[in-house]
Amino acid sequence: MLTLDKYMSEYMKDLWAAPQTSQNLNKISRYLGSELADKYYFSISKENREKYRTMAEPDLTINKEFYAFGKTRLYQSVYGSIKRLENEKYVVDITVMFQYTDRFEDVKNINNSSVEKQGLNKEFEGGKSFSFKTEPKIITIKKQVNNLDEITGLLKNRLRNIDDNSEEGKDNIRADFYDSVVF
């Protein structure tokens, strides 16, 4: 399996900061909220971490740097604990492991659509399938939050290396809370 970090390490920061990487971070907040439900405490170990209900499949075809990845699997494995306080705030102590992984089965058909008539796709004939992955990117959040939806904004800030106290960082945290509120 090809590990992208070894062959294109200079682009990894851009991959993690890509908007497509963070478009499904709300799956993590929703999962934690559903598990906590009406309880005051929820915990999940690293060994039993949730990776399937929080998994995303970002479509990178609209990203000019990573379009060849297409629709790629992004594991967003989460473990740790959430405690609900009496004032309806939450103490969050979670770790999220992000890892891209995919398998290209039909290599001869990569970018096949418009060039097929011109015969330009011949270089892919007999192409061998291959798999790739990234090294896990680990983000830990230990913080008191007003709402579990703030976790989405905090994760977005960490993936993009944005300071939580900057205007953009505050906007990310607030936006994810207000985007989830139904009026």
Give residue-wise pLDDT tens across range 57-103.
998 888 888 877 888 899 999 999 999 999 989 999 999 999 999 87
- Local confidence band at 123 (pLDDT 50, 70, 90 cut-offs): very low
Q: Where does residue 56 rank: exposed (0-12), middle (13-18), buried (19+ CB within 10 A)?
A: buried
Highest mean pLDDT among 119-123, 145-149, 176-180: 145-149
pLDDT of 164 over the 80 cut: yes
Of 74, 56, 86, nearest to 15 (Cα)?
A: 74
Report which of residues 116 and 76 the model is more confident about. 76
Q: What gap in Å lies between CA 168 and CA 33, rounded to an integer?
A: 25
Enclosing H/E stretch for 113: none
**CA 73 to CA 103: how far, in whole Å?**
9
Nearest Cα neighbor of 1 from 74, 100, 76, 78 is 100
71, β-bridge pairs: 59
Q: What is the pLDDT of residue 2?
A: 83
Query: 148 versus 70: which is more confidently predicted?
Result: 148
Compute the C-alpha angle 9/160/67, nearest 5°.
60
What pLDDT, in 10s, does the model give residues 16-73?
Answer: 999 999 999 999 999 999 999 989 999 999 999 999 999 999 988 888 888 778 888 9
Q: Any idea what DSSP says for residue 68? A: G
Q: Which residue has the higher pLDDT, 144 or 65?
A: 144
Does pLDDT of 121 surpass 70?
no
Mean pLDDT of the chain, nearest integer:
85
Instruction: Please compute the mean of the pLDDT values over residues 154-160 and round it to a whole number.
Output: 94
* Percent above pLDDT 70 for the chain: 82
- Rounded to whole angstroms, the Cα distance separating 64 from 150 reads 29
